[in-house]
Amino acid sequence: MVIITLAIKITSPGEVIYRQQRLGRYGKIFYLLKFRSMVKNAESMGSGMLLEENDTRITPLGKFLRKTSLDELPQLINVLKGEMSMVGPRPAPVFHLPKYDDEQRRRLQFRPGITGWAQVNGRVALYWPQRIELDLWYIDHYSLLLDYKILLKTAWTVFDRKSTAAKPDRKDVDPFMKM
């Protein structure tokens, strides 16, 4: 983590750690931590929070960090603080909450995870409605054995290097919430 911190500081201006408010268990808001992989103020440029293939806002080092998922390492601090777990639904941005129906709110019953069923079945190439469906499947089928399976699949998914950006041919779908 020290090497990544130095590399980010040397290669691009801005903060090393990116903090964003996210929804935790029972809808409690917390700050998700990640190594910054995009240029400073990237959320206010281009497609905002949507990551597109070959997105020019991603720094050269950020491309490597994202492909290897090393940008997620600071979330271990979120785990130690009890805000996240290793496995569970990914924490959603706060602005999604009012758009959830009662069924979709069930995903907030679990502590969010660094990895989860949706991550090993499509990663960020899935739009939020698809991720929520997979999160609800995980909640309905939760077991320690399933968590172990997800952890093993996570290692494979990280090295697979597919599904790291939203599919550009899906312009007909709201990337965050078509509900």
pLDDT at 41: 75
In sequence order, the β-bridge partners of residue 17 are 35
Instruction: Spell out the domain ranges in the chain.
Output: 2-160
As a whole-number percent, the residues of the chain with pLDDT over 70 amount to 82
Q: Is a pLDDT exceeding 90 seen at residue 89?
A: yes
Average pLDDT over the chain, rounded to an integer: 85
3 state SS of 116: coil
CB 179, CB 99: distance < 8 Å? yes
End-to-end CA distance of the chain: 38
Question: How sure is the predictor about 162, in pLDDT bands with cuts at 50, 70 and 90?
Answer: low
pLDDT tens digit sequence for 145-159: 999 999 999 988 777
φ, ψ for residue 70 (rounded to 5)?
A: -70, -20
CB 95, CB 66: distance < 8 Å? no
What does the pLDDT average to over 156-165? 61
